[in-house]
Amino acid sequence: MSPMRFALALFLLAAALPAWAQDAVNPPAVKPGSRWVYDSGEGKRTLKVESIEANGNIVANIQTPSLGGLQITFTKEWNPLTQPQAVAGRVIYLRYQPAVCAMPPSPWTVGKEWSCESTYSAAGATNTFTVKGKIEAREKITVPAGTFDALRVHENFGGAETTIWYAPAASQFVKIDAGPGSPFSMELVSFELK
């Protein structure tokens, strides 16, 4: 390659790097007090960050019609570590090992695929399931909280198909489609970042 062509190639590569960097998304750096309100089939759901642990794990409070003011813990990638669940009129905590890989290791880019197995234990019982996911596209999506540039992620949680839209501007998922009538389908209504 001639020096002129080499210089031109380097220039074009350098000019393209900012566009490539825009396509990669890293997990958010959320702060205590950040809050997201969703509308779901069960009614309003509120998630509020209470603290960030030294290892980056996110400790939050979740309010739903069936779970009021209970703690939920995520990794910095928003992958669940512990989660409250209402069962037969009482609350149990699902503890995942390793964390459920709802999102892959960063950076998050269109086309990235991943899978993991996670085991949860609760009330003396354990169960293992597989999660498979793919970041399918970067697209605009409109929800009650506004219009966002989002990553569309398709996932299979132990056989249940789900599509989620993660919006960097909201530092969280803005829509989850878990199928018609699912209480896990929801849209972001409002949010506040600290």
Q: What is the pTM of this model?
A: 0.80
Q: State which residues form the domain around 112.
A: 28-192
Are 74 and 60 contacting, i.e. CB atoms less than 8 angstroms apart? yes
Helix (H) or strand (E) holding 155: strand 146-157
CATH code of 185's domain? 2.40.360
Whether 9 is covered by a domain: the verdict is no
Q: Domain tally for the chain?
A: 1
SS (H, E, C) 12-64: HHHHHHHHHHHHCECCCCCCCCCEEEEEECCEEEEEEEEEECCCCCEEEEEEC
- Both ends of the chain: CA-CA distance in Å? 52
pLDDT (tens place) for every residue of the chain, 194 residues total: 433 333 323 232 333 333 333 578 888 889 999 999 999 878 898 999 999 999 999 999 988 877 677 888 998 888 888 888 777 777 888 888 888 888 888 899 999 999 999 888 777 788 888 999 999 999 999 999 999 999 999 999 888 899 999 999 999 999 999 888 787 899 999 999 99
In a domain, 152, yes or no: yes
The verdict on residue 5 lying in a domain is no
Is residue 157 in a domain?
yes
